[in-house]
Amino acid sequence: WTAAPFFANAKGPLAADFRGLVWDADGEFRLNRAAAMQNWAVFRDGVGNHYSFSEAQKAQAQANYAKAVEQYDWVLAENATDLEEYALGRARIAKLETEAQEKAVRDGVASLGGQRDTIRREWKQKAAPALAQIDSIWANYEADQNALATGQQAEASPYYRLVRPRTERIDTSVIDRFVPYFDIAIGLCLLLGFFTPLAALAAAGFLGSVFLSQFPPTTGPGSSNYQLIECMACLVLAATGSGRFAGLDYFLHLIVRKTWGGQAPQS
């Protein structure tokens, strides 16, 4: 699971902020040959140390590295024309996003705002095939290097991940690891009535961010936004003592009152 498509398709005034949460959103890192080779070389050496490869395994790891570089160069050559147009369009997209006056005019006029989205979408499509192929190379390279480990080596050491360097302080390379566990934890807390106000506020914040990523909502029959409705419901749960009547919070408050509750004053 990844949140990248959700953030990449954000719209509205906060769209740029949400798109910035996508790892390597504009493909600049993946299209940097020197950076890719450096990361793959570090991973090659790291996986060898992790599994304590023999010399024969290290030689095969080097062969996998050379194969990945060869595939990478082929992708760049095969998509050279589109990637050149993509690089030339980067300045235009940056101007649309950062030039305050032009951005305000386009945001204020629906047709111009749609035109900006169309320009960005067409620009993204130039590099999309190459980036998809490069992503496959990264994934296959990780799998191939781990596959070199013998059964005994694999049992002794866990799977070795190819960690992609962050392109922002917080991006999907970090978010993707925690959001599933966050959702499960918050869902269980609300289901069992445990720390209900805190869990409800966390859920409301999460659902509110989903709503803001698609703001303003569309008009018509589909204008009702269920994330906003659920966000409001979570705020109601946080403002009431629901967990204290039909959940584990009842027992938690009972223990707190018995342990730290003040004694009744003597007459």
In-domain check, residue 9: no
In-domain check, residue 266: no
Domain end (from 146, 165, 184) = 165
Same domain for 30 and 155: yes
Same domain for 124 and 69: yes
In-domain check, residue 12: no
Task: Confirm if 195 and 189 have CB atoms less than 8 A apart.
Answer: yes
Give the N- to C-terminal CA distance of the chain in Å, as an integer: 64
Domain end (from 165, 190, 208) = 165
In-domain check, residue 13: no
DSSP letters for 54-80: -HHHHHHHHHHHHHHHHHHHHHHHHTH
In-domain check, residue 19: no
Same domain for 50 and 160: yes
In-domain check, residue 91: yes
- Taking the C-alpha atoms of residue 58 and residue 48, their distance in angstroms, rounded to an integer, is 6
pLDDT tens digits in sequence order for the chain, 267 residues long = 677 777 877 777 777 788 778 888 888 899 999 999 999 999 999 999 999 999 999 999 999 999 999 999 999 999 999 999 988 887 777 776 665 445 555 455 455 556 777 887 888 889 999 999 999 999 999 999 999 999 999 999 999 999 888 777 777 878 888 888 999 999 999 999 899 899 999 999 999 888 888 776 665 555 557 888 899 999 998 888 777 777 888 888 888 888 886 555 554
Same domain for 81 and 187: no
Same domain for 159 and 47: yes
Q: What pLDDT shows up at residue 101?
A: 47
Task: Confirm if 87 and 189 have CB atoms less than 8 A apart.
Answer: no
Same domain for 253 and 228: yes
Same domain for 219 and 112: no
Look up residue 172 and give its amino acid. Answer: T
Task: Report the domain count for the chain.
Answer: 2
In-domain check, residue 242: yes
Same domain for 161 and 179: no
Structural domain boundaries, residue 234: 175-260
Q: What pLDDT shows up at residue 52?
A: 94
Same domain for 123 and 37: yes
Who contacts 206 (Cβ-Cβ below 8 Å, separation ≥6)? Answer: 182, 183, 186
Same domain for 182 and 83: no
Same domain for 214 and 141: no
pTM of structure = 0.72
- Taking the C-alpha atoms of residue 94 and residue 130, their distance in angstroms, rounded to an integer, is 21
Task: Confirm if 86 and 127 have CB atoms less than 8 A apart.
Answer: yes
Q: C-alpha angle with apex 129: 138 to 122, nearest 5 degrees?
A: 135
Domain end (from 140, 165, 190) = 165
Same domain for 82 and 202: no
- Taking the C-alpha atoms of residue 80 and residue 66, their distance in angstroms, rounded to an integer, is 21
- Taking the C-alpha atoms of residue 192 and residue 247, their distance in angstroms, rounded to an integer, is 6
